Amino acid sequence: MHQLTIAEIIRGLRDRQFSSVEITGHLLGRIEQLDGNYNSFISVTPELALQQAAAADERLAAGDAPALCGVPLAHKDIFCTEGVRTSCGSKMLDNFTPPYDATVVENFNNASAVTLGKTNMDEFAMGSSNETSYYGPVKNPWNSNCVPGGSSGGSAAAVAAQLTPGATATDTGGSIRQPAALTNTTGLKPTYGRVSRWGMIAFASSLDQGGPIARNAEDAAYLLAAMAGHDPKDSTSLDRPVPDYTAGLNGDIAGLRIGVPAEYFSDDLNPQVAARVQDALKEYEKLGAQLVEVSLPHTHLAVPAYYVIAPAEASANLSRFDGVRYGHRCEDPRDLRDLYMRSRGEGFGEEVQRRILVGTYALSAGYYDAYYNKAQQVRRLIKQDFVQAFEKVDVIMGPTTPSPAFALGEKKADPVAMYLEDIYTIAANLAGLPGMSLPCGLVNNLPVGLQIIGNYLDEARMLNVAHRYQQVTDWHKASAA
Ligand code: GLN
């Protein structure tokens, strides 16, 4: 049963081949039996899951069930869940049980989807390897000596290990697409504002965006349909109609113009990864698409701009964790200053502290213009590159990551090497554009991701483009489990 895709589970539940309680129980058993190998969950919620599954079965029997009714899923531990600990991968929030659900979680609950538990992640979503989690690293199901990517490494690994058919995730600079690429899953970061950020613990508010990780584009379409939509509680949420993402999946893509940026095939790219991506582009040509050379000349500035803007916003967002209202509090503080300093010093890990220091520095008087303002100007240029490219093409394609999964520990001591993992993903966040990663081959038995960057609010087309490729290739079916 764990091999089933979300689309197959939806059909199976309606055809009474199995109940939600049955498939939920099966997956909970698998998590208990196997997750010791992966560490992809921070919290498993069997009681809640079985209760939700029983309610879903009643709703299915009554015949008025929404698409995802009874489908078991997992949520990244960055989404607040009422009554269920939400740690954000940090000691700071190890003891935090939110009194409310994030809008994304509420949407899934309203659809009667089932929550299996909360997935592991880099602390406060800062990282590309899942090694900064307070709860220990996640292992890549394809090779347990390798990282699954981050920060949504738990969600990606849980899907790849077939512990859940789908999971929520978030992407500030690549954290949906990069782990999807490294685990042979399909992940989608929507247009900024498409999915509500309410109740999603903030890292860098102008970049953060929630989205799905699943086994294929069709399943991602089902999940995005439940996640997307206007939310008055998030002032950056877009009040635009949500298209029917599953309806358009089979559309013909003959004549599709695919932009291929030379900058995404630079020296940083592993040649075997480049070859798999080129193979995928050839497959698209066979489907009738046309490859068009485009240029994104400011690509090399994306990492430096991001690593000023994201830490700057993080330093402001994380100032709320002061040991006073909630989260970790040090023992026996001498005075208020001691309370702040020790609570934050003890509660935040090394990478989070590094970001707060960098961000505070970049925002300080005298450096603000030199760093923060400059980075915002660069951001504008990066966005302009895409606006110009999309005058000529419908989607942009390239690699998701410069290499396949790397070894645990390999980049941990070198933050800059870790930051360069994001060179192909970060620009889409800076521009607010939607991006996807889908499996396009293996290198040394490790997965390679093809990245699709779409125009604003063009998620339906991206899903269609991804689905058509998955109809003529089997890479997404290759399994680590
Ligand atoms: N790796 C990037 C960072 O550490 C992106 C993380 C993310 O997308 N949440 O900031």
Residue in the block written with tokens 């799905």: 212
Report pTM.
Answer: 0.98
Helical spans, DSSP H, in 15-145: 20-38, 46-62, 103-110
Which tens digits make up the pLDDT trace of 10-68? 999 999 999 999 999 999 999 999 999 999 999 999 999 999 999 999 999 999 899 99
In order of 41, 167, 421, the CA distances from 473 in angstroms are 30, 23, 26
Instruction: Please report the pLDDT score of residue 268 as a whole number.
Output: 85
Q: Can you say whether residue 409 is alpha, beta or left, with left for phi > 0 and alpha for psi between -120 and 50 degrees?
A: left
The predicted structure's pLDDT at residue 148 = 98
Annotation says 20 is catalytic: no
The rounded Å distance from CA 382 to ligand 1 centre is: 18
Task: State residue 198's pLDDT score.
Answer: 98
Task: Dump the DSSP string for 314-378.
Answer: HHHHGGG-SSSSSS---SS-SSHHHHHHHHHHHHS-HHHHHHHHHHHHHHSTTTIIIIIIHHHHH
The segments of the chain whose pLDDT lies below 70 read: none
CA torsion sign, 73 to 20 to 56 to 69? positive
Check residue 299 and report its DSSP letter.
Answer: G
Q: What pLDDT, on the 0 to 100 scale, is given for residue 480?
A: 86
Cα 19 to middle of ligand 1, angstroms: 38
Neighbour count for residue 141 (Cβ, 10 Å): 26
133 is catalytic: no
Catalytic member of 20, 43, 128, 151: 151
Distance 63 CA to ligand 1 centre (A): 42
Which secondary structure element, helix H or strand E, spans residue 227, and what is its range? helix 217-227
Pocket mutation for ligand 1, best pick of 124, 155, 175, 356 (most atoms within 8 Å of C-beta)? 175
Testing ligand 1's pocket by substitution, the residue of 90, 122, 207 carrying the most ligand atoms inside 8 A of its CB is 122
- Alpha-carbon span 335 to 341, nearest angstrom: 10
User: Measured between alpha carbons, how far is 271 from 402 in angstroms, rounded to an integer?
Assistant: 9
Report how far ligand 1's centroid is from the alpha carbon of 416 (Å).
Answer: 13
Name the nearest CA neighbour of 379 among 327, 446, 301, 321. 301
CB-CB contact of 26 with 116 (8 Å): no
pLDDT, residue 64, reads 85
Report how far residue 136's alpha carbon sits from residue 428's, in angstroms, rounded to the nearest whole number: 29
For residue 310, which atom of ligand 1 is closest to its CA?
10
Query: What confidence tens digit (pLDDT) does each residue in 78-136 have?
Result: 999 999 999 999 999 999 999 999 999 999 999 999 999 999 999 999 999 999 999 99
Q: What does the DSSP 8-state code read for residue 195?
A: B
Pocket residue to mutate for ligand 1, from 132, 133, 152, 172, most atoms within 8 A of Cβ: 172
Determine the 3-state secondary structure of 30 from DSSP. Answer: helix
For ligand 1, which residues put their CB under 6 angstroms from it?
125-128, 151, 171-175, 203, 310, 422
Here the tokens at position 471 are 């109809």
Distance 17 CA to ligand 1 centre (A): 41
Report CA-CA distances (Å) from 195 to 113, 339, 371. Answer: 17, 36, 29
Catalytic residue among 87, 175, 343, 437: 175
Q: Could you give the CA distance from residue 18 to residue 283 in angstroms, rounded to a whole number? A: 37
Rounded distance between C-alpha atoms, residue 76 and residue 86, angstroms: 9
The Cα 471–Cα 481 span in angstroms is 22
Q: Whose CA is nearest to atom 10 of ligand 1?
A: 126
